[in-house]
């Protein structure tokens, strides 16, 4: 950019236009010409036949349009016989992307396109910056000259920003005050462009646009080394370039689709769709994040692809019916022909061949459609869009159930995996999406039956949690920034950028308007007795009001905008949060009490705990601070990697939630430990509200949506308390408890509901393995401190210590008959002990460390595995009975089947081997992408855990049933409960996950659960009829 006002731009005649197509020309072409040029840009050259076939028009109708494009030098003829046409692109210009549009659409371009936004007062600096970047091969959009007209100019500015990979903003006192520069920033933010602030003159940080203020600045002032700064800038520009270029490429096509009223001909197909889904799935925490338009476009493309496949399937069914009719006719003709003595066998063969071909085509279409839906679900899941991932996986499950013939086993595994991961991990229960602007605030009514939302579209909307829109409250003339209910739920107060507060009845009737603030009002709250209101404003004040609008007091000690304000639960205190980096406490009459300091950036949100004993504050310095109600600091939590917009205590006060510009919601214990993270918003999360019972959470943000989250996780229970990697998890013999252990040297005993019953500080070093005695009266632990210890699991009392190993002890196990204990050590030995800790025998077992040891079900033999890539079978007197060779990596685990006749070995060569007791390999399970570290038999198959962070379930013949993703580190161990109801997994990510097994591999059960979860959304969302049919009988 360029200037500070539109008046600086003077029209330029058409005579100055260069030959060829400019970006600006695309914006003013007639729609019929735009349509043809946009399609031709994606191809090298085309014939008239190509055009006619694509646009489904006669060539004679397209000929005049093409001739006009040739006359204007936008299209050229590049070959004859038949004529071939290509878009002619203009030469470089200071008002367009300097190469051409084709290059912008080429994701393989070696350099990033840059848009430079600046004030004309800094033009000499920008010229120097431009020259330096050009020398380094950068492609730059920058305006040096006048522009045709104000309207065309701004449209061209928007297009330049949209086409650029990176938005570079030149920070100076002039640019931060420029309205046009601010418009450019907002347009870049709208499309989630990567933004790089470059400082050419020192600025006051409080004057800088908040989205630029939070980024890392590159200083290129007179006092800085220009060359070093440019190298740093170029390095930043080139970071993750392939990802950024794909962001631009998809955005261009999504914008085109949106501008063309979502014309399906502009959607992605084939490899383009596959690449986009892969890109979206891998976006994760990358910057820039996908914009809401990316999400809508890729999802619409996936749905259209599924619809196309459905249409193809329908056509194939029609063909099949015709073939069957033909077969019937052929049969009749054949009978007649036989009567005439004519051979008709070839007629029958032809008809049968055609029937089989039609059925194969139909089945292939079925399977491809299911595969496309599962891939779309996986991409959405990887991008943290788990609600949408569930919806896509339900579509896949529906198509799977409706398939004409059973899909192959690998496709069945894909469908089950997609459905399971979505159902296990989804927390979002509903989406309310009727606002047309940012949703700045959201609030539950005191009874939890109504949700109020405040939006940039100038409305307050009232909803039922199931998605029913009750009322739309209109009257504000600027964005509505805050909304709250009175304690009895009968009144609603709204705060707006129009400097007013409005009081409404819960039926949507306006009662009164309160005026007095001289700037935007950010929040308004009721007092606990419902008799007063308090408001926080950009005019640096807090105001107290009677409900009729009579002012009570003005609190004026803040030195900058006040972002949030709240009463304490007893109504005796008021807390306010401000851009001046402080929290202030006031008496209920408005007299000041105390200033709380410590934050290093704007304080955006505050909340009192339900008992009034604590206060939390959230800041743009990325931290949350916990204070006592008297202002005494308790703890600082580095909560997010981006700005914090909202903090709220849970209903029971034992946790608090934070909402951030990083698009996530996080839950924290009061000790500062992280409980969980919710992802799903595609833009900043601005507001949070808990239901009074604490079972639900509503969130709202920049993606214009309100999301309803269930805080109960019915089918998956995380156990989170360990402070290091978790190496083992074991169920007690009665199945009522779990024991876990790991690198933090503790043993923890848990109930099945996830509550921790006991923690034992057990060893002086990492603990590798645990084993319950068959009667549940003892628990053994093995450690890197070279010892094994026996504990009373009910009391935590130490019973015995087994010493003698000369290296870390990796494994310990009780025999099924309860008589023996076996231990395995890195000292290459296995030792056999009595239950009271007396050593019976030492076995020199392997040529390297021994990793595991197991008893056979009859307690008569031992099975070991080792770093030496083998497993061995032993008699209890120490005689080797069999050696299992064949793995090319360490054998991390070896176990017996329940009948003792089959042995499974898990190896770091990424495979599992199945063997008979004579050492013959029966089959190999292949599918993990990293080492397999644990294996267990269950009644219907085998479960494995891997360094690839997944668990897999297999049939005994080696067919994959499903994959369970979810851990973020190596999965070190797994264990089934005695009744098979639960599967527990322990991981390097410091968590144990308790999975409900009744849904594993059960498509019908998964579909039932999914329908129950989605019922509100399917009933009220703006969906296609086919989606509404997903869960109808």
Q: According to the model, what pLDDT value does residue 104 have?
A: 47
What is the C-alpha separation between 129 and 394, in angstroms, rounded? Answer: 52
- 8 Å CB contact between 746 and 727: no
Pairing label, strands 113-117, 139-141: parallel
In the three-class reduction of DSSP (H, G, I as helix; E, B as strand; rest coil), residue 578 is classed as strand
Q: According to the model, what pLDDT value does residue 272 have?
A: 76
With 0-12 / 13-18 / 19 or more C-beta atoms within 10 angstroms meaning exposed / middle / buried, residue 249 is: buried
Among 833, 782, 816, CA closest to 895: 816
The two tokens of residue 608 are 């009192």
- For residues 712-728, give the mean pLDDT: 92
For residue 106, what pLDDT band results from cuts at 50, 70 and 90?
very low
Lowest-confidence region among 1-10, 205-214, 536-545: 1-10
- 8 Å CB contact between 779 and 794: no
The two tokens of residue 795 are 């009391």
Positive/negative CA dihedral, 568, 571, 572, 578? positive
Residue 288 pairs in a beta bridge with: none
Contacts of residues 860-865 at CB distance under 8 Å and 24 or more positions apart, as own/partner, are 862/822, 862/830, 862/832, 863/894, 863/895, 863/896, 863/903, 864/824, 864/830, 864/894, 865/891, 865/892, 865/893, 865/894, 865/905, 865/906
Q: pLDDT tens for residues 778-804?
A: 999 999 999 999 999 999 999 999 999
Q: According to the model, what pLDDT value does residue 357 have?
A: 67
Among 972, 1014, 1010, CA closest to 993: 972
Lowest-confidence region among 26-30, 56-60, 543-547: 26-30
Q: Which residue has the tokens 């046409």?
A: 85
With 0-12 / 13-18 / 19 or more C-beta atoms within 10 angstroms meaning exposed / middle / buried, residue 1030 is: middle
Q: According to the model, what pLDDT value does residue 780 have?
A: 97
Q: According to the model, what pLDDT value does residue 238 have?
A: 77
Q: pLDDT tens for residues 935-991?
A: 999 988 999 999 999 999 999 999 999 999 999 999 999 999 999 999 999 999 999
For residue 650, what pLDDT band results from cuts at 50, 70 and 90?
very high
Q: pLDDT tens for residues 810-859?
A: 999 999 999 999 999 999 999 999 998 899 999 999 999 999 999 999 99
242 pLDDT above the threshold of 80: no
More confident residue, 478 or 309: 478
In the sheet with 469-474, reading across from the earlier edge strand, the strands are 439-444, 451-455, 459-463, 469-474
405 pLDDT above the threshold of 50: yes
What is the C-alpha separation between 604 and 627, in angstroms, rounded? Answer: 16
Q: According to the model, what pLDDT value does residue 247 have?
A: 79
451 pLDDT above the threshold of 60: yes
- DSSP letters, 611-669, are TSSEEEEEETTSEEEEEETTS-EEEEEE--SS-EEEEEE-TTSSEEEEEETTSEEEEEE
362 pLDDT above the threshold of 90: no
Q: Which helix (H) or strand (E) holds 788?
A: strand 788-791
Residues with Cβ within 8 Å of 899's Cβ and at least 6 positions away in sequence, in order, are 857
What is the C-alpha separation between 602 and 223, in angstroms, rounded? Answer: 28
Quick one: how far is CA 180 from the chain centroid? 34
Q: According to the model, what pLDDT value does residue 149 have?
A: 42
Quick one: how far is CA 421 from the chain centroid? 13
Helix axes 345-382, 270-281, angle to 10 degrees: 30
For residue 317, what pLDDT band results from cuts at 50, 70 and 90?
low
- For residues 52-56, give the mean pLDDT: 84
For residue 44, what pLDDT band results from cuts at 50, 70 and 90?
confident
- For residues 533-549, give the mean pLDDT: 96
Quick one: how far is CA 719 from the chain centroid? 22
H helix runs in 646-767, sequence order:
none
Q: pLDDT tens for residues 195-217?
A: 899 999 988 877 788 778 777 88
Alpha-carbon separation of residue 403 from 390, 422, 623 (angstroms): 20, 22, 52
With 0-12 / 13-18 / 19 or more C-beta atoms within 10 angstroms meaning exposed / middle / buried, residue 243 is: middle
| Count of other CB atoms within 10 angstroms of residue 216 | 8
- For residues 535-540, give the mean pLDDT: 96
Q: According to the model, what pLDDT value does residue 15 have?
A: 33
| Count of other CB atoms within 10 angstroms of residue 981 | 14
Among 501, 402, 403, 485, CA closest to 446: 485
Residues with Cβ within 8 Å of 56's Cβ and at least 6 positions away in sequence, in order, are none
Alpha-carbon separation of residue 627 from 582, 622, 639, 644, 687 (angstroms): 13, 17, 15, 17, 21
Helix axes 241-259, 292-339, angle to 10 degrees: 70
359 pLDDT above the threshold of 90: no
Q: Which domains does the chain have, with CATH numbers?
A: 6-18+91-265 (3.40.50.10140), 296-427 (no CATH), 430-712 (2.130.10.10), 728-946 (2.130.10.10)
10 pLDDT above the threshold of 60: no
Q: According to the model, what pLDDT value does residue 346 have?
A: 55
- 8 Å CB contact between 319 and 358: yes
Q: Which residue has the tokens 């006040």?
A: 562
Q: List % helix, strand, coil for the chain (3-state, nearest 5).
A: 30, 35, 35
Pairing label, strands 75-79, 982-987: unpaired
Pairing label, strands 623-628, 633-638: antiparallel
Q: According to the model, what pLDDT value does residue 22 have?
A: 62
Residues with Cβ within 8 Å of 416's Cβ and at least 6 positions away in sequence, in order, are 961, 962, 1001, 1003, 1006
Q: What is the dihedral of CA 619, 623, 626, 632, to 10 degrees?
A: -80
The two tokens of residue 946 are 């891997």
Q: Which residue has the tokens 């609008």?
A: 549
For residue 146, what pLDDT band results from cuts at 50, 70 and 90?
very low
Q: What number of H helices and E strands is found in the chain?
A: 19, 63
264 pLDDT above the threshold of 80: no
- For residues 691-696, give the mean pLDDT: 94
What is the C-alpha separation between 476 and 453, in angstroms, rounded? Answer: 14
What is the C-alpha separation between 581 and 558, in angstroms, rounded? Answer: 9
776 pLDDT above the threshold of 70: yes
Q: According to the model, what pLDDT value does residue 152 have?
A: 56
Q: According to the model, what pLDDT value does residue 323 have?
A: 54
Contacts of residues 976-984 at CB distance under 8 Å and 24 or more positions apart, as own/partner, are 976/731, 976/936, 976/938, 976/943, 977/731, 977/735, 978/731, 978/733, 978/734, 978/735, 979/735, 980/938, 980/939, 981/735, 982/731, 982/735, 982/752, 983/943, 983/951, 984/729, 984/731, 984/738
- Round to the nearest angstrom and report the end-to-end CA distance of the chain: 58
- 8 Å CB contact between 178 and 4: yes
Helix axes 292-339, 270-281, angle to 10 degrees: 140
In the three-class reduction of DSSP (H, G, I as helix; E, B as strand; rest coil), residue 989 is classed as coil
Q: According to the model, what pLDDT value does residue 111 have?
A: 61
pTM of full prediction above 0.85? no
660 pLDDT above the threshold of 50: yes
Q: pLDDT tens for residues 477-517?
A: 999 999 999 999 999 999 999 999 999 999 999 999 999 99
The rounded mean pLDDT for the chain is 86
In the three-class reduction of DSSP (H, G, I as helix; E, B as strand; rest coil), residue 955 is classed as coil
Among 805, 733, 801, 809, CA closest to 771: 733
| Count of other CB atoms within 10 angstroms of residue 552 | 14
In the chain, % of residues over pLDDT 70: 87
The two tokens of residue 148 are 């045709």
What is the C-alpha separation between 804 and 788, in angstroms, rounded? Answer: 9
97 pLDDT above the threshold of 60: no
């Amino acid at each position: 950019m360029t200037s500070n006002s539109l008046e600086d731009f003077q029209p330029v005649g058409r005579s100055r236009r260069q030959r060829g197509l400019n970006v600006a020309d695309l914006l003013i072409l007639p729609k019929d010409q735009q349509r043809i040029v946009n399609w031709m840009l994606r191809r090298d050259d085309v014939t008239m036949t190509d055009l006619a076939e694509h646009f489904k028009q006669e060539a004679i109708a397209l000929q005049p349009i093409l001739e006009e494009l040739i006359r204007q030098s936008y299209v050229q003829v590049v070959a004859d016989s038949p004529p071939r046409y290509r878009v002619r692109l203009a030469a470089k210009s200071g008002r367009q992307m300097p190469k051409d549009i084709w290059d912008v659409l080429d994701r393989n371009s070696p350099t990033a396109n840059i848009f430079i936004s600046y004030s004309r007062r800094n033009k000499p600096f920008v010229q120097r910056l431009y020259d330096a970047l050009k020398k380094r091969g950068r492609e730059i959009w920058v305006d040096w000259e006048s522009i045709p007209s104000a309207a065309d100019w701004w449209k061209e500015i928007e297009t330049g920003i949209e086409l650029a990979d990176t938005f570079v903003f030149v920070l100076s006192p002039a640019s931060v005050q420029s309205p046009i520069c601010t418009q450019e920033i907002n347009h870049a933010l709208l499309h989630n462009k990567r933004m790089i602030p470059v400082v050419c003159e020192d600025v006051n940080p409080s004057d800088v646009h908040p989205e630029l203020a939070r980024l890392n600045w590159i200083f290129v002032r007179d006092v800085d080394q220009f060359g070093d700064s440019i190298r740093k800038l170029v390095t930043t520009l080139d970071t993750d370039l392939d990802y950024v270029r794909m962001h631009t490429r998809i955005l261009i096509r999504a914008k085109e689709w949106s501008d063309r009223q979502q014309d399906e001909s502009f959607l992605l197909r084939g490899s383009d769709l596959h690449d986009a889904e892969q890109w979206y799935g891998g976006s994760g925490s990358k910057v820039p994040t996908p914009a809401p338009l990316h999400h809508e476009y890729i999802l619409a493309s996936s749905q259209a692809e599924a619809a196309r496949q459905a249409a193809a399937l329908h056509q194939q069914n029609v063909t099949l019916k015709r073939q069957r009719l033909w077969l019937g006719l052929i049969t009749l003709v054949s009978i007649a022909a036989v009567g005439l003595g004519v051979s008709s066998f070839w007629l029958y063969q032809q008809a049968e061949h055609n029937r089989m071909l039609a059925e194969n085509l139909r089945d292939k279409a079925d399977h491809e459609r299911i595969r496309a839906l599962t891939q779309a679900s996986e991409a959405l899941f990887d991008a943290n869009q788990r609600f949408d991932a569930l919806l896509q996986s339900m579509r896949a499950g529906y198509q799977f159930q409706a398939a004409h013939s059973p899909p192959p086993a690998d496709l069945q595994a894909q469908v089950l995996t997609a459905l399971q991961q979505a159902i296990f991990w989804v927390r979002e229960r509903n989406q309310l999406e009727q606002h047309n602007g940012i949703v700045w605030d959201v609030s539950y009514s005191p009874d939890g039956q109504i949700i109020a939302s405040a939006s940039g579209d100038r409305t307050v909307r009232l909803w039922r949690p199931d998605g029913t829109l009750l009322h739309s409250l209109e009257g504000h003339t600027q964005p509505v920034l805050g909304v709250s209910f009175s304690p009895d739920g009968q009144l609603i107060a709204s705060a707006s950028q129009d400097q007013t507060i409005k009081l409404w009845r819960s039926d949507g009737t306006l009662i009164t308007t309160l005026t007095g603030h001289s700037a935007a009002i950010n929040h308004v709250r009721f007092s606990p007795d419902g008799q007063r209101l308090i408001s926080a404003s950009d005019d640096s004040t807090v105001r107290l009001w009677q409900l009729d609008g009579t002012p009570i007091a003005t609190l004026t000690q803040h030195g900058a905008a006040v972002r949030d304000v709240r009463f304490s639960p007893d109504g005796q205190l008021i807390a306010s949060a401000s851009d001046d980096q402080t929290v202030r406490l006031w008496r209920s009459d408005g007299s000041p009490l105390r200033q709380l300091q410590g934050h290093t950036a704007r304080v955006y949100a505050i909340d009192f705990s339900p008992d009034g004993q604590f206060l939390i504050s959230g800041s743009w310095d990325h931290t949350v601070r916990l204070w006592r109600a008297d202002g005494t600091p308790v703890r600082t939590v580095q909560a997010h990697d981006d700005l914090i917009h909202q903090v709220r205590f849970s209903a029971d006060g034992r946790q608090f939630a934070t909402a951030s510009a990083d698009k996530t919601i996080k839950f924290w214990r009061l000790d500062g430990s992280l409980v969980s993270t919710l992802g799903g918003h595609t833009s900043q999360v601005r507001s949070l509200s808990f239901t009074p019972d604490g079972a639900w959470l509503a969130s709202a943000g920049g993606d214009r949506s309100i999301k309803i989250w269930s805080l109960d996780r019915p089918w998956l229970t995380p156990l989170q308390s360990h402070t290091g990697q978790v190496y083992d998890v074991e169920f007690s013999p009665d199945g009522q408890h779990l024991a876990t252990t790991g690198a933090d040297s503790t043993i923890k005993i848990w109930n099945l509901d996830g509550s921790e019953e006991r923690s034992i500080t057990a060893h002086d070093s990492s603990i590798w393995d645990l084993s319950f005695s068959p009667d549940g009266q003892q628990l053994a632990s093995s450690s890197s401190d070279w010892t094994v210890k026996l504990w009373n699991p009910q009391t935590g009392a130490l019973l015995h210590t087994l010493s003698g190993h000369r290296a870390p002890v990796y494994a310990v196990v009780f025999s099924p008959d309860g008589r023996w204990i076996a231990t395995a050590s890195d000292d290459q030995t296995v030792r056999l002990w009595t239950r009271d800790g007396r050593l019976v025998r030492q076995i020199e077992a392997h040529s390297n460390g021994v990793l595991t040891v197991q008893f056979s079900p009859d307690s008569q033999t031992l099975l070991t595995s080792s770093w030496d890539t083998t497993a061995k079978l032993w008699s209890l007197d120490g005689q080797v009975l069999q050696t299992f060779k064949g793995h090319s990596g360490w054998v991390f685990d070896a176990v017996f089947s329940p009948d003792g006749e089959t042995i499974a070995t898990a190896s770091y060569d990424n495979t599992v081997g199945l063997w008979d007791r004579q050492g013959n390999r029966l089959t190999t399970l292949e599918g993990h992408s990293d080492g397999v570290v644990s294996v267990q038999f269950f009644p219907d198959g085998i479960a494995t855990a891997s360094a690839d962070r997944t668990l897999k379930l297999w049939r005994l013949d080696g067919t994959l049933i499903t994959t369970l993703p979810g851990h973020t580190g190596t999965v070190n161990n797994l264990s089934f409960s005695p009744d098979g109801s639960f599967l527990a997994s322990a991981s390097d990510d410091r968590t144990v996950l308790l999975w409900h097994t009744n849904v594993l591999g059960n498509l019908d059960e998964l579909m039932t659960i999914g329908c129950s979860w989605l019922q509100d959304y399917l009933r009220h969302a703006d969906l296609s009829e086919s989606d509404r049919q997903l869960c109808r009988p």
